[in-house]
Amino acid sequence: MSTSELPVTSNFIRTIIAEDLASGKRSQVITRFPPEPNGYLHIGHAKSFSLNFGLAEDFGGCCHLRFDDTNPVKEEDEYVEAIKADVRWLGFDWGEHLHFASDYFDQLYLWAVQLIKTGKAYVDSQTAEQMRKNRGTLTEPGADSPFRDRSIEENLELFQKMKNGDFPGGTHILRAKIDMSSPNMNLRDPAMYRILHAHHHRTGDKWCIYPMYDFAHGQGDSIEGVTYSICTLEFEDHRPLYDWFIEKLEIFAPQQVEFARLNLSYTVMSKRKLLQLVNDKHVSGWDDPRMPTLVGMRRRGYPAAAIRTFCERIGVGRGASWIDLSVLEECVREQLNQSALRRLAVLDPLKVTITNYPTDKIEELDAANHPQQPELGSRKLPFSHELYIDRDDFMEEPPKKFFRLAPGREVRLRNAYIIKCEEVIRDESGYVVELRCSADLDTLGKNPADGRKIKGIIHWVSAVQAEEVEVRLYDRLFNQENPDKTENYLNALNPESFQSSTALIEPELMNAELGTTFQFERIGYFTVDSKDSLPGTPIFNRTVTLRDTWAKLK
């Protein structure tokens, strides 16, 4: 499904834009997605850039991809390339509009000098601790810096020396001169530039000073002619600051519109916490299939179309709300139910011997690749007198509504015969190790001649041809709906979020391509791991179960 095929859902931002265009307030729509290249994108970012790119597409405009690379200490080209790959994976294209905040470092510096010359910025030489103390609180005003009234000439000289690298880091910063008593903390003489003797991934060692995000952000929008600067609600209190810079510099003013960020249950999306999960080895990396990162979801087997559908389905609003993870998982199921080919696999094998089937016979049975899509064709399943079924499909003393295999009962083997359990074999400890069954050899592809009803259908693999593979059973990383509300979110980690086991699969799966997803019938959706699989040795990640197994736990 392309982005143009997704249903267009009304939201308050789309209404604002439509009214602006109709009234002539705006003549075009230019949006932007401005990630910082200091980590990997997660599902919350997907909501943001799906919104920005989607609005631009809906109104015949364009969306810029701009990396806010203003902190060289934490930024890397690795993250730049990963972010570009994620945006492309979801089906969006920035075309010629790829930008970096570092593209504007020279202009930003000139604007900083301009603000110094007009008495709107000054170099502060307080220590970090002094600045924190003098900033005030939410209920008490801040105190002016003792360096706030430096002359323009002194400020210009000091700022030039900061740029030249004459001072060590932390000795001076450039601050906007606004109002230390403002009830909005962002207007209490915010920092504009700090000294950083750090190598930048694009500008190298050219700069010893770097603009703060709040100084570069709005001006970057202005330079690019962005008409709608769409941000999450935490930037609402920053808007007066962005407007102040725009006004004092007398440059083009984008319109900032804020919306509520995505809060997803059983998940954390703080970049700091995600980094801690990686660094402390709670997960295998940013691409761990349990992570909410897009690279992790891609490796797990989540289709891009499912994520786009999810972003559209949850909508855009101003009020903070929680979305249950099951909504995302259901989008994944809906998409995979349409696209995933069906295959047979047994995760907990129990041997079945068909006593009336020839021991030396191998039969190839026809099996549809997708029961609802006959155009996808069929494949051959090997059938022999020794099979494996899943242990959960047998009970010696079944409850009333158990329609699977039990002593004296019949079930149909998927795409094969009806069998009846005649004998249960145990080992010395009494553990069931084998079932001996008879097959109604006249029921291949048809119902019993005598009209008896068979309610149960179970899956199986041939013992002779089945291949053994590793399967990784991924589940929710946290077992609490809101890990951030716990005393320590790490205490909410789900100890059963990852389990590795061995499964038996039909032989055709051994040559499955990396990243391909299948429905293991009656079990779930599984994807060939794109990182650890080797040619001829696939590893399968459980993408999602067939049903929401968490709903009954609530």
Same domain, 36 and 150: yes
- One of 271, 313, 351, 420 is an active-site residue; which one? 271
Same domain, 113 and 243: yes
pLDDT digits (tens, 9 = 90+) for 205-224: 999 999 999 999 999 999 99
Residue 553 has pLDDT above 80, yes or no: no
CA atoms within 13 A on the CB side of 137: 2
Mean pLDDT for all residues in the chain: 95
Which of 465, 482, 516 represents a domain boundary (last residue)?
465
Whole-angstrom distance, CA of residue 223 vs CA of residue 433: 72
Residue 67 belongs to what H/E stretch?
A: strand 62-67
Same domain, 526 and 382: no
Which of 259, 288, 314 represents a domain boundary (last residue)?
259
Same domain, 348 and 332: no
Whole-angstrom distance, CA of residue 290 vs CA of residue 329: 13
Same domain, 30 and 160: yes
Give the CATH number of the domain where residue 135 resides: 3.40.50.620
Residue 417 belongs to what H/E stretch?
A: none
Same domain, 97 and 162: yes
State pTM to two decimals: 0.91
pLDDT digits (tens, 9 = 90+) for 311-327: 999 999 988 778 999 99
The answer to whether residue 428 is catalytic is no
Give the per-residue SS3 of 206-268. CCCEEECHHHHHHHHHHHCCCCEEEEEHHHHHHHHHHHHHHHHHCCCCCEEEEECCCEECCCC
Same domain, 451 and 532: no
Compute φ and ψ for 335, nearest 5 degrees. Answer: -70, -45
Same domain, 95 and 236: yes
Q: How confident is the model at residue 549 (pLDDT cuts 50, 70, 90)?
A: confident
CA distances from 244 to 148, 186, 187, 359, 489 (A): 18, 11, 9, 85, 38
Whole-angstrom distance, CA of residue 147 vs CA of residue 156: 13
Same domain, 371 and 459: yes
Give the CATH number of the domain where residue 486 resides: 2.40.240.10
Which of 465, 492, 508 represents a domain boundary (last residue)?
465
Q: Considering the domain boundaries, does residue 266 fall inside one?
A: no
Same domain, 25 and 141: yes
Q: Considering the domain boundaries, does residue 51 fall inside one?
A: yes
Residue 551 has pLDDT above 80, yes or no: no
Compute φ and ψ for 318, nearest 5 degrees. Answer: -100, -25
The answer to whether residue 247 is catalytic is no
Q: Considering the domain boundaries, does residue 264 fall inside one?
A: no
User: What does the DSSP assignment read for 110-142?
Assistant: HHHHHHHHTTSEEEE---HHHHHHHT--SSS--
Q: Which domain holds residue 291?
A: 271-339+469-553
Q: Which residue in 222, 226, 218 sits closest to 63, CA to CA?
A: 226
- One of 84, 261, 313, 414 is an active-site residue; which one? 261
Same domain, 118 and 106: yes
- 3-class DSSP state of 536: coil
Same domain, 253 and 148: yes
Q: How confident is the model at residue 524 (pLDDT cuts 50, 70, 90)?
A: very high
The answer to whether residue 261 is catalytic is yes
Per the listing, tokens 């039909």 go with 506
- 3-class DSSP state of 395: coil
Q: Considering the domain boundaries, does residue 216 fall inside one?
A: yes
The domain total for the chain is: 3
pLDDT digits (tens, 9 = 90+) for 31-55: 999 999 998 999 999 999 999 999 9
Compute φ and ψ for 523, nearest 5 degrees. Answer: -120, -55
- One of 14, 36, 236, 248 is an active-site residue; which one? 36
**What's the rounded mean pLDDT across residues 500-505?**
97
Q: Considering the domain boundaries, does residue 247 fall inside one?
A: yes
Order of strands, sheet of 517-520, starting from the edge strand that comes earlier in the sequence: 341-343, 517-520, 524-528, 539-545, 467-474, 498-505, 345-346
Residue 9 has pLDDT above 80, yes or no: no
Q: Considering the domain boundaries, does residue 265 fall inside one?
A: no
